[in-house]
Amino acid sequence: MQPSMLSELSEDPQDKTRYRSGSFTDNMKLPVHRWFRYSAGFSAEWAENVIRSVSNGSEIRILDPFCGSGTTLLSAAKAGVSSVGFEAHPFVARIASIKLKTDVDLQELETTADLILRRAKQLHPPQPVTSSDLLLKCYTPEALSALEALRMAYVDAESANILGAASGHIWLAITSILRECSGVGTAQWQYVLPNKTKARTREPYEAFEARIRMFLDDLCYAKDHLTAAGKVLRTDARNPDCSGGFDLVLTSPPYPNNYDYADATRLEMTFWEEISRWGDLQCAVRQYLIRSCSQHSAAEKLSLDALLADNTVAPIREELTAVCRKLDEVRQTKGGRKTYHTMVAAYFVDLAKVMTSLRGLVRPGGRLALMIGDSAPYGVYAPVDKWLGDLAISSGFHSFDFEKVRDRNTKWKNRKHTVPLKEGILWVEA
Ligand SMILES: C[S@@+](CC[C@H](N)C(=O)[O-])C[C@H]1O[C@@H](n2cnc3c(N)ncnc32)[C@H](O)[C@@H]1O
C-alpha cells in the first residue's frame, strides 16, 4: 500500500473526482483524450498524478493491460514516461493506436481531409445505400447518405493508397462523429437507444471538418506536451505477447457488472461493415475479452462445475462456489434467467490468469494500481476487491490493500437491488 503516494494526489481528501469522474466526461475536455468517447474508468489527471509520483523524475515503465482508448498511455506520455497498453477489442485497440500516433504531419492531415470531404460531396448518394436496421433507425436519410459518402471516399482513397500517414486519423475522424450526427440516444455507456431522441445533432460534413480542426489543434498541443511514446498491443491480458520489466501497472479492468464492451462499438462497427448484426459481436469481439457480461457466458454455454474446478480459482473456491450456486438458484426465479452464475465464475478464472501474467511482467518492487468495482447481480454480492487481492497473493504478489473511492448503487430509486456497492483502487505490491 502506498499511503504517502495517495496523500500526494490531492489536497482535499473529499475530492473523489481526483480519481474517477463518475463518468468519463472530465477526460472529454482534454486534448487527444477527447477524440473518442469511451468509458475510461478513471480520470486522466489522476493517472498522470500516480505516474508522476511513482516515477519521481526517474525512468520507469508503465503498463496498462486493459488500455481501452488509451487514457493511461496518454497520461504517461504527458508525464514523459514511456508506456505499453494491451487491448483485446480490435476496434478499440485501433482507436487507441491512432490517438497515440501524434507525429502525423499537420499539413498532410489537413490536405488529405480536404480531399476526402470534396470526394464525399461528389459521391453523395441520393438515398442511403445500407440495409442495416440499426443505421436506418439512427439517422435521417440525409445524414446517413452524407456519412456513407464519407465512408466511400475514405475506402476508395485507402484502397488507392493515397492517404499515407494520415489514414488512421481520417478514419477516426469519421468514426468519432457518428454519434453526434445521430438523432437518437447514442450515449456510449448505454449503447444505442433508437427509441430515444436527442435535442442536438450535427450535419456530417460540418462535423467532419470540426473534428479535423480539433485533431489539428490537439496534435499541435501533443507536439509540446506528449513527450514520451506509448505503444498499444492488440493482445490478451490473460496471455499477453509481451516481455516484462514494468514498474507500475495502472489500469481499470472490466468489472463483473454485465457491461458489454463489444456492444459499446456496435454502431461504429456496423457503419464500417465489420459486423452486420448484434449476433456478429461474439465472433468479431467478445470472444477475445474477459468474460464480464452474461451475453458472453451464455454464448459460450459454460459449465459452472468446470469453471469452479479450475485450479486458477483455488484460493477463493469456497466463497466463489457459494456465490455462484446462489446465483444459479436465484436465476431459476427470474424471467430473464441470466447466466450470472457462470459469468461471475468465468470472470474470476480470467482475472486469476491476468494476475499470474502480471506477476511475470512486473519487476520486484513494482506495483499495481487497479481501479475496480464490486457487483451484485440479481442482488447476490461478489466481494471483488477481496477476491482479486487473494488471487494476487496466490499469483506471487507480496501484499494488497483496497482504497475505497466512492459508494455506488445508493442514489437511484429504481435500483435493481439495494446491495451497497463500491469502487476504488486495489494497490498490489510485487
Ligand atoms: C474499463 S475498460 C478500460 C478503459 C481504459 N482505461 C480507457 O482509457 O479507455 C476495460 C477494457 O478492457 C478491455 N479488455 C477486455 N478483455 C480484455 C483482455 N482479455 N485483454 C485485454 N483487454 C481486454 C475492454 O475491451 C475494455 O476496453
Q: Given ligand 1 and candidates 238, 261, 370, which is best to mutate, with the most ligand atoms within 8 Å of its CB?
A: 261
Last residue of a domain, one of 207, 224, 241: 224
Furthest-apart CA atoms within the chain: distance in Å = 65
- Cα-to-centroid distance, 253 and ligand 1 (Å): 6
Phi, psi of 400 (to 5 degrees): -145, 160
Kindly state the cell numbers that stand for 130: 445500407
Predicted confidence (pLDDT) at residue 4 exceeds the cutoff of 50: no
Domain count, the chain: 2
pLDDT of amino acid 413: 57
Assess whether 277 and 418 both reside in one domain: yes
pLDDT of amino acid 411: 62
Last residue of a domain, one of 179, 209, 224: 224
**Reported pTM:** 0.93
Give CA angle at 351 (346, 352), nearest 5°. Answer: 95
Assess whether 366 and 252 both reside in one domain: yes
Domain residues for the domain of 63 are 3-100+227-429
Last residue of a domain, one of 224, 254, 281: 224
Residue 2's pLDDT band, with cuts at 50, 70 and 90, is: very low
Here the CATH number for the domain that contains residue 76 is 3.40.50.150
pLDDT of amino acid 16: 41
Assess whether 319 and 384 both reside in one domain: yes
| 210 CB-near residues (< 8 Å, 6+ apart) | 202
Assess whether 252 and 358 both reside in one domain: yes
| 147-173 pLDDT tens trace | 999 999 999 999 999 999 999 999 999
Assess whether 324 and 388 both reside in one domain: yes
Residue 414's pLDDT band, with cuts at 50, 70 and 90, is: low
Q: Which atom of ligand 1 is nearest to the CA of 251?
A: 6
Q: Which atom of ligand 1 is nearest to the CA of 238?
A: 19
Assess whether 200 and 245 both reside in one domain: no
| 237-275 pLDDT tens trace | 999 999 999 999 999 999 999 999 999 999 999 999 999
Assess whether 173 and 76 both reside in one domain: no
Assess whether 282 and 136 both reside in one domain: no
Show the DSSP H helices in 139-235 as ranges. Answer: 141-159, 167-176, 204-225
Give the binding-site residues of ligand 1, using a 6 Å CB cut-off: 38, 40-41, 66-71, 86-89, 92, 236-238, 252, 254, 261, 289-290
Assess whether 14 and 50 both reside in one domain: yes
Q: Given ligand 1 and candidates 25, 28, 66, 259, which is best to mutate, with the most ligand atoms within 8 Å of its CB?
A: 66
Residue 306's pLDDT band, with cuts at 50, 70 and 90, is: very high
| 318-361 pLDDT tens trace | 999 999 999 999 999 999 999 999 999 999 999 999 999 999 99
The conformational region for residue 191 under phi > 0 = left, psi -120 to 50 = alpha, else beta, is left
Assess whether 177 and 207 both reside in one domain: yes
Assess whether 54 and 128 both reside in one domain: no
Assess whether 216 and 236 both reside in one domain: no
Phi, psi of 426 (to 5 degrees): -95, 110
Predicted confidence (pLDDT) at residue 10 exceeds the cutoff of 60: no
Residue 410's pLDDT band, with cuts at 50, 70 and 90, is: low
